[in-house]
Amino acid sequence: MAKFASYESMTSEKGWFSVIPLLSYGAFINMLIGARSLGKSVAVALWVLFRYLKNGEQFIYTRRNADTLKLTAEDWFASACRILNENDYEFDFEYKGGLYLINGEVAGYAVPLNMQHKYKGRDFINVWWICFDEFIADISERYEGQNINFLTEYDCLIKLAQTADRTVGRPRRSEVKIFCMGNAESLYNPVIVGTGADRYIREDSHFVHPKGKKWAVQLLREDDSASSQGFTDYVYYELASENLKAMAYDNRPKEFKDSPFIKTIKKPLMPLCNFVWDGKQFGFYADRNAGIFYLSKKLNSCHDMIALSIDDHKPNYFLARNGNVYIGLIKETYAMGQLFFETNEIKTCIDSFLKFVR
């Protein structure tokens, strides 16, 4: 007889990280963002394995391209199967030709995200879960299609979900749910920006699920998993650089790291214009003598308001265009290290805007 009757009992008794609190929000896209070795991938693999064994629910495992998928596709699920086998669950696992087989029957599929269009004719009637592993890249150039459209990868994920969520007679099941697992490298990745989650995540966030949204985020903490506590005593934590500690262990995306460009300037400055991004307004100023520029919460009462997105545009605002002198000044002074911000929130707004501006 198996030692554990359910996913809940196994993760609880062993002190492992569990996906159940995140799934309790009922979201369709569930993002797990956290430090290494907290058990994100194993927790998701165990969840879909239990769901298959109990209910016959299949899954799709995906990474952004075939090369990265090949590296982890088999081992990701094999580790979960090994754990259950060691706890007296009797079944045979085999990974063959992109298929996850349990006792010779298909439990799941491995699909490269950038090749999702080749699977449009496949019938995934029994698929209930999509698992997007390492969805946050260490450098932005790794994202598929980012030089053309930053949201290409997010669009591919939604298309894959649409393919899996339909079958003959039921073109829109609204049953397939997505897990996205990644380290806390950066909040500015296609899925986070595509869902709009970057507008809500803050440095002290734990669970984020705004009312009415179809997504939820969990920024993992050390106490989310009893087995992961005490990592600061780990030898490779001590040896890691400060940047690596922040991303891989301390769960601090680069947007939350202390920056020398965040400061308060109190002396009088020359007002230039005002900006609005995602409903947040801030003023743009210059110190010509010092050769620096400054974005502040304080608005210029008699100067133009420039909307940095169509959603922020109003009849009495100017809509930002690439040829606008102030947009050019923002880009140039940021690149030269001459642009300073009163708050991290303002810097986050500009970082987000510049992702879409060449």
SS3 112: strand
Residue that wins the pLDDT comparison between 66 and 346 = 66
Interval 61-87: pLDDT, tens: 999 999 999 999 999 999 999 999 999
3-state helix, strand, coil in the chain (%, to 5): 35, 20, 40
pTM for the structure as a whole: 0.74
Flag whether pLDDT at 347 surpasses 90. Answer: no
Neighbours of 200 (CB within 10 A): 15
What domains lie within the chain, and their CATH numbers?
7-256 (3.40.50.300), 270-354 (no CATH)
- How does DSSP classify residue 170? B
What is the DSSP code string of 55-76?
H--EEEEEESSHHHHHHHHHHH
> d(Cα 355, Cα 233) in Å, to the nearest integer?
37
Angle at 326 between CA 324 and CA 332, to 5 degrees: 105
Instruction: List, in order, residues 6 or more apart from 324 with CB less than 8 Å away.
Output: 306, 318
The answer to whether 26 and 94 have CB atoms below 8 angstroms apart is: no
Residue that wins the pLDDT comparison between 267 and 214 = 214
SS3 281: strand
In this prediction, residues 108-130 reach a mean pLDDT of: 94
303: closest CA among 329, 275, 269, 328? Answer: 275
The answer to whether 126 and 84 have CB atoms below 8 angstroms apart is: no
Mean pLDDT of the chain: 87
Return the minimum-mean-pLDDT range out of 44-48, 205-209, 251-255, 346-350.
Answer: 251-255
Flag whether pLDDT at 243 surpasses 90. Answer: no
Predicted local distance difference test score (pLDDT) of residue 109: 98
